[in-house]
Amino acid sequence: MKKKLSVVKIGGNVLENEVELHKFLDAFSAMEGPKILVHGGGKLATQIAHRLGIESKMIGGRRITDAEGLKIITMVYGGLANKNIVAQLQARGTNAIGLSGADGNTIRAVKRPVKDIDYGFAGDVEEVNTLAIYQLLQAEFTPVFCAITHNKEGQLLNTNADTIASEVAIGMSDAFDTTLYYCFEKKGVLLDIADEDSVVKHLEPINYQELLENKIIADGMLPKLENCFHALHKNVGKVCIGDISMLAPNATLFTTITL
């Protein structure tokens, strides 16, 4: 029987709220068994870029990563955000190791091709080095990935953290019984955005399609759910979406997504 592995992606609103971040790190540290954490840091990168007089370019809520923007992202994601999380996890007895996709060649990506919009140095994941990650887990490290990959030709790439979490979970599913968690500020997929407790507890392709047709699922949730179903189709055992309380062993109010 395969050993269980938890892959957890932390949302920006949790990451950038000190009180919520500490609650999350307590809950993550308490999770039993091998685990992997994935984070971004877009809002913090935007704030620091503004202080440095560098304009952050966004189109349709997506970041355009030019050369100057990539420097900021590397500093914030790979430095400030990542090392703060690693240090806080060490304080909680979790032996974390901070990584970008370039470290150990763990996540290789390609620069997103230009179609209607040139996203600059944005990366689409091509390959996850499962052996390297497996060896870290076997050595009882907890990998903490920031949202940066590389193309194995010396170029760093800004890569969507939800996608990194999904692709890492997929990559590790051959060796582990993998559960992917998307942890953010809401309790799950909501039937009514104004009612925090209107959580859809179980989401399958049939009722997902119904929610889409009735326009109940908001636009911002669609890319996340696409990553969820993609992961399930690629042999990830289970995907869960919810707030910090979802990580507790006795949690009940969150969304579980299955095929």
Q: Is 60 annotated as a binding residue?
A: no
Q: Is 63 annotated as a binding residue?
A: yes
Q: Is 42 annotated as a binding residue?
A: yes
72 contacts: CB under 8 Å, gap ≥ 6: 45, 48, 49, 52, 54, 56
Q: How far apart are CA 70 and CA 81, in angstroms?
A: 15
Q: Is 51 annotated as a binding residue?
A: no
Report whether 14 contacts 244 (CB < 8 A).
yes
Q: How far apart are CA 241 and CA 190, in angstroms?
A: 11
219 contacts: CB under 8 Å, gap ≥ 6: none
Q: How far apart are CA 42 and CA 40, in angstroms?
A: 6
Binding-site residues for substrate sit at: 41-42, 63, 158
Binding-site residues sit at: 41-42, 63, 158
